[in-house]
Amino acid sequence: MLKHIIYHFVESPLKVVAGIQNQVTTEQEAATFECQLSKPKCNVKWYKNGQEIKPSDKHQVQVEGDKYKMTIVRCRKEDLGKYTVKCGGVESSAQLTVKSKEIVRSSENCNSVMMEALYCILHIKNFHML
């Protein structure tokens, strides 16, 4: 008697292994969101505040095996918001915060500028007294 064995392979469902994390960056700096899915070569899509992002010089997308990255180059205040990566019914979201660049002056530089200003004021007053 001959028996037939039938194999039925069930593919495991796609899962987010490591979701994207909140990012904080400074204006003109880059920010990178990275996630890991349970399968490589997925057709992921990236979104900002619900609007799909197309890969560009500003939004650079990379795939390395089961890791998916999107880098936002030269961040500006307009880039802050909620970013989401979606694929096959699963998704992960995180916030991007963009801080203003601070201008830092050394006290030595400030003292020099203040001395020049004071000199100019005294010089002008003396000129008017003549």
Residue 30 predicted with pLDDT over 60: yes
The SS3 assignment for 71 reads strand
Residue 64 predicted with pLDDT over 60: yes
Q: Would you state the structure tokens that stand for residue 15, as one six-digit string?
A: 């899962």
Residue 4 predicted with pLDDT over 90: no
Q: pTM higher than 0.85, yes or no?
A: no
**Side-chain-side CA neighbours of residue 88 (13 Å):** 12
Give percent of the chain with pLDDT exceeding 70.
71
User: What is the pLDDT confidence band of residue 24, given thresholds at 50, 70 and 90?
Assistant: very high
Query: What is the number of helices (H) and of strands (E) in the chain?
Result: 1, 9
Q: What is the pLDDT of residues 7-23, one digit of tens each?
A: 656 678 899 999 999 99
Residue 67 predicted with pLDDT over 70: yes
Rounded Cα gap, residues 52 and 45, in angstroms: 7
Residue 61 predicted with pLDDT over 80: yes
Rounded Cα gap, residues 22 and 3, in angstroms: 56
Q: Which residues pair with 34 in a beta bridge?
A: 69
For the chain, domains (ranges, CATH) are 16-99 (2.60.40.10)
Q: Would you state the structure tokens that stand for residue 55, as one six-digit string?
A: 């890969």
Q: What is the pLDDT of residues 101-113, one digit of tens each?
A: 876 555 555 556 5
